[in-house]
Structures are given as C-alpha cells and as structure tokens.
Copies of this chain bind each other. A is one copy, B any other.
C-alpha cells in the first residue's frame, strides 16, 4: 500500500499498521485521537470534525479512545479502511485538501497522552516458560508449576492509576526480608522489568453476572500494546504470600503509546499448540492463536552502548488472549471498553529469550554479561531500558515501541 505520506524504509508505521493513540497537537489544550504513518501523525479528531473522516456518530470528539473502543469490530474495520484509503497516494481527498496541513503533524509537534481511560488493569501469568522458570527458582523443578497453572490462565488485579505511557521509573523503597532473616525498610535492590503484551478490551462487553463466551472473545479485544510491569523483586518476595503482589508492582506499569489493532496483526497470526491437559469447555477455543511478534529488550548501562539482552516473542504464550479474557469473566466479572489485560512476562524456551532479569540472572546468581566487562543482576540507577516489538510482513514491518526509560534513584528522606 502506497501513501502520499513518506514512509521511511523499515518504518514501524506503514499503511498496514494504522495504530491509535491520543495527544496534544501543536500545543492544543485538548488531546485529540491520532494515528501515525511513517513519521507523520494524522489528527483523526480534526478529520472527523471537518467531515473528511466520516463516522455515523462522533467517535473521536473526546480525549481518549474509549468511545471508539466501545464500538464493534465492524466499525473498527470500516474506520481503518477509510483511514487507509484517505492516506493512499491515489486518493486526492485529503492529499489535495486545504485542510491537509492542519490534519497532519510531525512527531515533534505532538505531545502524546495516555490514550485510554483504563477502568481496570489485570495482569496474567500466561507464559509457561516464565511460570516454570520462576517456579524452579522458588520451589525446585518438581513443583515448579502449581497444579492450577495448566488448568486456567492465572491472573491478578493490578493498579490502573499507575499505568503510564513510557516514562522513567523511580526506584521504589519498601519492606524487604531475606529468607529466614529480619525484615527491614530499604531501597529496592532488585528492580526488574517484565516484558509483556497488553490487550485493550473493546466492543459491547458483558454485564455483571454474565461471562464472555470464548466464541465472542475475539471481538472484545480492540488491540495491543507493549507493557512493562516494573517489579521490585525483593519487596515482592516478602509481601506476596498469601494475597499476591501488591506494592512490589503498583508503583508503575509502562505501556507503548500506539495501540496496534488485531486487524493490523492478522497477517502475523500463528496457531498455539494444543493444550495438555485439555482445558475445560469454557476455555476451549477452536482457533487458539497468538501473534508472531519478536519482542526485543535493549539495556544501556552508563558508559556502554545499547545492548540487545533478549528476544522473546508473543507466540510463546501458553494461554491465548481470548482465553485470558474469558477466564477473567468466568464468575461474572463485567469488563469495560478500555480495560487492560497484561499477558504476564513472556519468556521463550531459550536463554536468550527470557522476559525479565529475575530469569536472566537466576535471581542474581548468574549476572548478565554486557560489553566492556560490565554486568547486571538487576537494574542500576542510570540504566536505560527500551523494548520494541516487530512483525515482519511481506515488504513491510509493523512495530511497537516502548520508549526508553531511565532508572532514577530512590527518594531519600527521614525513613531511609
């Protein structure tokens, strides 16, 4: 697909992508709904206002994507096609319009904002490699996987207030306790990232007391982002029994700004292996799938170059995103458009495809070797983490980018 907008070779934003976000264009007070092609941002709110983008009811006259997300897959597909057509080189409607200059903006002219009002954020634990690796560390290989793990997508509720687009992370402080030792109040010494995919719920969702059927789940997923569930491993180890991670996770969760739709990902759909044991009928999806998205994590430590430390892939999920959504609602929990479901750390089967430093460094026992003799067990102040996702298509690439995040030192005060 050719556009009249320049798309640099290898850009993550070809016409085949058409991701959605929000932001302030040229200093505007109100955030607008946006898409991106190459390095050009397209103002959908403006295009709808002037009638070039035709919507039956106003979908983009708001500061978040929730309204658009609450529509149906048919509407999403129709709007996507319309946008792709408007941006094609053989279409003059926008290309030759007097409004073109105002409708388009360079990256520098736009301040991206949180694209979704997230009602609830949930985090799953859907990578078998990750669950197994972590289980081995804490319980040994025989008891690595809990008996419930292969029966349902294990998950827990997260904190929506601290989900942000990108952003530097401040090292947290909290309670820690070595095994069998005495607890103390300390600066976190095991700050970690977690490489995840986040799904945004959309469409007409279920009322409280009803469940989403597996046959309908696909149409209740709008699109995906990269997600980094920052984790304080030392705080987590002390607090998580019996009610799960709490302050070890709720200080920050970062997502990539552009939401990539399932339509854009369709060419990269891959089947998942049949699950054993066979799940209960409510979780049986005849079209069990994930996406082939290479997930690359880069770490830059002071006085060193940016280094690729891991390449995982969304196809390494055991529980699919539809199964996660269905299980979430099995007892009747109502979902809302804009809810965010994290996949949990996605680790592959090999040493170079692990999704967090806890696994890479075996909880600190085996430091990660970096160029110039540097090494890391967990993150140091000043380290910079970057995550990208890449889908290589036939002549185009669709990508996701979690902006570089710097680890900032902990707050120092009378308590620590």
Contacts and interface: CB of A to CB of B under 8 A. Distances in A.
A210 B331 contact: no
Interface string A217-236: 00000000000000010010
Interface stretch (A12-20, A145-153, A260-268, A374-382): A145-153
Given A152-B239, A208-B162, A244 B244 contact: yes
A132 to B, nearest CB: 13
A334 B162 contact: yes
Given A152-B175, A210-B411, A336-B161, A242 B330 contact: no
Contacts of A4: none
A290 to B, nearest CB: 21
Interface string A394-412: 0000000000000000010
Contacts of A248: 331
A209 interface: yes
Nearest to A119: B161
A415 B331 contact: no
B159 A281 contact: no
A209 B411 contact: yes
A148 B184 CA distance: 11
Contact of A332 (B172, B208, B282, B339): B172
A332 to B, nearest CB: 4
Given A146-B242, A148-B238, A243-B154, A159 B282 contact: no
Contact of A250 (B210, B240, B246, B331): B331
A247 B160 contact: no
Nearest to A332: B251
A247 B330 contact: yes
A281 B162 CA distance: 25
Given A252-B208, A411-B209, A243 B156 contact: yes
A280 B415 CA distance: 9
A166 to B, nearest CB: 13
Interface in A120-178: 120, 125, 146-148, 151-152, 154-162, 164, 170, 172-175, 177
Interface in A243-281: 243-248, 250-252, 280-281
A1 B337 CA distance: 47
B242 A331 contact: no
A137 to B, nearest CB: 12
A174 B331 contact: yes
A170 B250 CA distance: 31
Contacts of A327: 247
Given A120-B120, A146-B241, A148-B241, 10 more contacts: A119-B161, A154-B243, A156-B243, A159-B333, A172-B330, A175-B330, A183-B280, A209-B251, A240-B244, A251-B333
29 contacts: A120-B159, A120-B160, A146-B241, A148-B238, A148-B239, A151-B177, A151-B183, A152-B239, A154-B246, A155-B243, A156-B243, A156-B246, A157-B158, A161-B333, A161-B334, A172-B330, A188-B331, A208-B251, A209-B411, A210-B411, A211-B411, A232-B331, A235-B331, A243-B244, A243-B245, A247-B328, A252-B332, A280-B415, A332-B411
Leading 4 A-B pairs by shortest Cβ distance: A244-B244, A172-B331, A157-B157, A156-B243
